[in-house]
Chains A and B, each alone.
Chain A
Amino acid sequence: AQSVTQPDIHITVSEGASLELRCNYSYGATPYLFWYVQSPGQGLQLLLKYFSGDTLVQGIKGFEAEFKRSQSSFNLRKPSVHWSDAAEYFCACSGYNKLIFGAGTRLAVHP
């Protein structure tokens, strides 16, 4: 069965520090992978997506993610976190006719 796992429920980093959010997927075919961000009370905004080709993808707001087929991972990274990055982050895999989401990682940023 298709599934997405985000092992870290909550992460706290200091402003200016680097960030890595983990995502592991289980999908039988070539996965299409996404990272979305959700601010409190809001819908989801797409940060970046991976379909094929270069395994390092760049997104909005300075985020990037690396697809590693051997590890079934698609980790999200940012070299320097800003206070405005505090939000919930969801990794998703595109199944047939739907997105399958992980449970999310809540990011807190300390000044």
Chain B
Amino acid sequence: DTGVSQNPRHKITKRGQNVTFRCDPISEHNRLYWYRQTLGQGPEFLTYFQNEAQLEKSRLLSDRFSAERPKGSFSTLEIQRTEQGDSAMYLCASSPPEGRGTEAFFGQGTRLTVV
């Protein structure tokens, strides 16, 4: 297993366009998270899946953002009508089902630049 995989690594898009990112978690991990990280800040929680169910969404996740995990495996994060403020690193993480204190394993992230 090569860990959490995110694609693409980099995305440049024009304002107003839609973008979609993909995350493939570690295979036996049933929990999946999306975070957003802007320059000089720590990662901020966006949303959480347990298997295919989206159990929590941050208020940061506006109605332009949608995340799915259709079969409880990979996940996608879509941003519609991108704005310059959406420019950030989008990090995906996964963790096994053991409990609250289990560490999250992070992917290398997708860096989005909106021009």
Residues of A within 8 A of B (CB): 4, 6, 9, 32, 34, 36, 41-46, 49, 51, 90, 92, 94, 96-104
Complex interface bits, B13-46 against A, C-beta within 8 A gives 1, otherwise 0: 0000000000000000000010000001111110
Give CA–CA (A94, B100) in the complex, Å.
7
| B4 close to chain A: CB less than 8 A | yes
The reply to whether B42 and A90 form a contact with Cβ atoms under 8 Å apart is: yes
- What chain A residues lie within 8 Å of B40 (beta carbons)? 9, 103-104
The reply to whether B106 and A32 form a contact with Cβ atoms under 8 Å apart is: no
The reply to whether B55 and A97 form a contact with Cβ atoms under 8 Å apart is: yes
Nearest-neighbor residue (CB-CB) of B103 within chain A: A46
The reply to whether B42 and A49 form a contact with Cβ atoms under 8 Å apart is: no
Q: Which 5 A-B pairs have the closest CB atoms?
A: A101-B42, A32-B101, A43-B106, A98-B45, A44-B106
List which B85-115 residues lie within 8 A (CB) of chain A: 91, 93, 100-101, 103-109, 111
Residues of B within 8 A of A (CB): 4, 33, 40-45, 48, 55-56, 91, 93, 100-101, 103-109, 111
The reply to whether B56 and A98 form a contact with Cβ atoms under 8 Å apart is: yes
Least Cβ distance of A56 to chain B in Å?
A: 17
Given A34-B103, A104-B41 in contact, is the A43-B48 Cβ separation under 8 Å? no
- What chain B residues lie within 8 Å of A6 (beta carbons)? 42
- What chain A residues lie within 8 Å of B48 (beta carbons)? 97-98
Given A43-B106, A43-B108 in contact, is the A102-B101 Cβ separation under 8 Å? no
Give CA–CA (A102, B41) in the complex, Å.
8
Give CA–CA (A92, B91) in the complex, Å.
15
Least Cβ distance of B93 to chain A in Å?
A: 8
The reply to whether B43 and A101 form a contact with Cβ atoms under 8 Å apart is: yes
- What chain B residues lie within 8 Å of A101 (beta carbons)? 42-44
Give CA–CA (A44, B45) in the complex, Å.
14
